[in-house]
A and B are shown apart, each in its own frame.
Chain A
Amino acid sequence: MKRIVFVLVILALALPLVSAAAQDAPVTLRLWVHQEANFNTGTQALIDSYTALHPNVTIDMETFEYDLFIQTLQTALPAGDNADILGLFGSWTCSYADRLAAMPAGLVDTSQFFDAAVGGYLCDDQVYGLPQEFNMEYGTVLVNKAMFEAAGLTYPPAWTSLDELSSDAVALAQTGSDGLMTVAGYHFTNADAIAFGFLAGILQNGGDYWNEDRSAFTFNTDAARHTLEQMISLVESGAIDPVLFNDSANWGGNAFFTNQAAITLIGPWAVAFGLSDFPDFGEFGYVALPSFGSADPLFAADSGWGLAVAGNSPHADIAWDFVQFATAGAENALGWNVTSGTIPALREIVETDAARGDLLAALPWLEANLPLLQYGRYIGRMPDRDLVFYDIVYPYILDTLQGLMSVDEALMLIEEDANATF
């Protein structure tokens, strides 16, 4: 008996040593992300910091051009030939959940993140990734200082109603002698702008685009009708010509930075795009939009880019440790947000004065976004978000804005087609 007890004690003492040895064994992880210079620089900095703390771990980052990244995920995941850590867009995550490793219970408290940012990573009561950014496509607009001043308008604008915005937009719009619009007053007809604007309008007009148990879309409602009519009103007032300015012609980001749009609805990532691609562009601002209705400026947001762990990774525990390090540690997450020019997903960065100060010192244009984050909610788990947004909501609404179909017909078809995706 004594012998057995002795052996068990020895084994119990030896187990942590064996475990530690296993922990310290050299481990190489692969990390896949899409190509975006600032994002990739930020991720490499996180890898360098983590591997400095864990010398036995090597993390090789492999980057893919965006379209190729999607196709690589589609083919490599089924083939099991994927990396250990995947940089996924939050709203896609649940559709890949079958092939991802759920977060070990209790590793990270997900309430540290904004609901909209983490919502896409929560699938059937499991967490399949953690967000690095708050993806905000609605709520703030780019404004061109020179155009506002030339039109004799107050700059920066502080609109309190949609009518005030419309009035400025009409004053800013310019049309050539041949009748074609040359400068859009308010460019809100990009695919993202239309889709997110429509959803925000529904929420701000007191409605919802989900039914009660979130099993179906409800786009054919009074709130949706009112929102679409408000959008049409902007077009009819002359703020924009949606035939000449949309996602495939005079896309908002380019239109703004080539002086073809005075006000443009686009996410804050476009500021970094403008600063890098149009360094000689004059002064511009980034300001908040007024609410569609009298309610709070609610808006729907995607869960943006974050990190997930592949289900077939032989080192899922270490991969999750890195994900936790990169996303839930305030200092690390802030470093990544500053480098990538993105809005933090971690509440602590926004709600702590010091971190918030550091963030705004590096990315001052986010000042307009941060007060709005509390109004953001996750878009909800859609069977195919891209299909609903870009092939259903956007084309129907664009046709309606172009006068090719009625509001009632558009809402009926959007609801019918979107629900057919379930």
Chain B
Amino acid sequence: MPTYNYDAFTLYWLMIGAFLGTSVTPLIYDRKGLNPWRGALLGLIVGVISAQIVGRLALALLGGILPGVAPWVSLLGGLVGLGALWALSPASNAPKLRRQGMAAGTVTPLVFYLATLSVFPLLWAFALAFFDYSPRRIGGPLLGLGGDNPFVGLEYFQLMLSGAGRDARIFQNSLLNTLSFTLLVLPLNMLITIPLAVLIESTNSFFRSLFRTLYFLPVVTSSVGVAVMWGYIFNAQYGLLNNGLRTIGATPVAWLQDPTATILGVPAAMAAVVIAYLWQDFGYNLVIFIAALQGIPDSLKDAARVDGGTHWDVFRYVTLPLLRPTIMVTSVLTVISSFQVFDIIQVMTQGGPGRIGLTRVLVLDIYENAFRFERMGWAAAIAVVMFLFVAVLTIIQTRVLRTNWEY
């Protein structure tokens, strides 16, 4: 009899049993005039239990006789219990929630999968932040927590605040770099995209489509490809930028490598990754702004012009205020994506230059600790702090840029 990985099968049975139970049961309940939402819940319970019991039995009984077929049969174990549920549920004559079967049968499985594959990992990450957890160590019986992966409480967060030791120093530096990156990217992005969107919107439809496509192209380009391209441009010895500087007689700069090089007080490496990131990202906001501009009624602008407003006045007193909801959405999205920056920096600088990492951002710190050094607890604590920062910044932005009117 072959050896089966029961841990893996337990997961498969759970997912398939839950899917069958939550998707089909509501439809059957609906046809029988029963509450489909109740059917979804019952289907989930019966499907999961049946899948675990019958699946295990199928492997045990058929594994020796039909080793190739047994795993597949076991995956359908949930149908045994569910079949009984579907057959034995009596029909009702009170069709209060009729025609909600489709809704319950599609929403419930998605909610289940979201809870299992997104919410649970999120909660898991929160839990890990309070443990010195490494997958290398076996740890306690409950999900490997405890034992050799001990509970440390708020120690990691206290360490982050104190700044004592290498980990805390690197965290504080990464947080500072992330905030600097975001503070550079957000206003620059807005300064580029809003005027550009107004200019593009003022052209005819052919050029509008052309420019929109051209500017959106970098957004759909691979970030790694973008990083490699900008890496060549900023290359100290053979880069395009330094070749230009040599041509005009200026001294070349090791943009990505020299920790002492700065541009207006910003480390040159940070400026370089900001430029690369903006180049790739600004097309996204641009398209949103163009769409928002198209939604502003011409009558408002015409009225302003009739009142003697110049182009600048129209932009300043009509267009810009009406773009405020869009500015809020784009700035929230830009802040979130800036906090999550990883690939461009990983390829261009790997967080360097310098021992502490002049471009080392939070996600890079999380990645290094979690997947390179296998210190999942510390990495999870950083992720929690990052989550809190993004949440607070988002709330502040929505408060500041909130509008109480519509047009």
Name A residues whose Cβ lies closer than 8 Å to a Cβ of B: 28, 67, 70-71, 74-75, 77-81, 95-96, 98-99, 176, 178-180, 182, 243-244, 246, 248-250, 314, 384, 386-387, 391-392, 395-396, 398-399, 402, 404-405, 416-417, 420
Contacts and interface: CB of A to CB of B under 8 A. Distances in A.
Interface string B136-148: 1110000010001
A391 B368 contact: yes
Nearest to B11: A79
B373 A74 contact: no
The B contact surface, by secondary structure, is loop
Q: Which range holds the interface residue count of chain B? A: 35 or more
A291 to B, nearest CB: 28
Contacts of B7: 79-81
Interface string B6-26: 011000000000000000000
Nearest to A77: B135
Given A81-B7, A244-B237, A420 B166 contact: yes
Contacts, number: 92
B116 to A, nearest CB: 16
B350 interface: yes
B90 interface: no
B203 interface: no
21 contacts: A75-B135, A77-B135, A80-B5, A80-B7, A81-B5, A98-B136, A99-B138, A176-B237, A178-B246, A180-B254, A182-B237, A243-B258, A244-B236, A250-B237, A392-B166, A395-B352, A399-B354, A404-B259, A404-B355, A405-B355, A420-B166
Given A179-B251, A244-B237, A96 B5 contact: no
B252 A178 contact: yes
Nearest to B249: A178
Given A395-B355, A399-B259, 4 more contacts: A71-B371, A78-B135, A243-B257, A243-B258
A319 to B, nearest CB: 13
Contact of A420 (B2, B165, B349, B356): B165
A81 B135 contact: no
Interface in B346-388: 349-350, 352-357, 368, 371-374
B92 interface: no
A179 B259 CA distance: 18
B227 interface: no
A71 B370 CA distance: 10
* Chain B CB within 10 Å, residue with most, of A98, A243, A250: A243
A178 B251 contact: yes
B162 interface: no
B260 interface: yes
A179 B249 CA distance: 12
B287 to A, nearest CB: 34
A381 B135 CA distance: 19
Contact of A314 (B3, B148, B371): B3
A59 to B, nearest CB: 15
A386 B372 contact: yes
B256 interface: yes
Contacts of B353: 243, 248
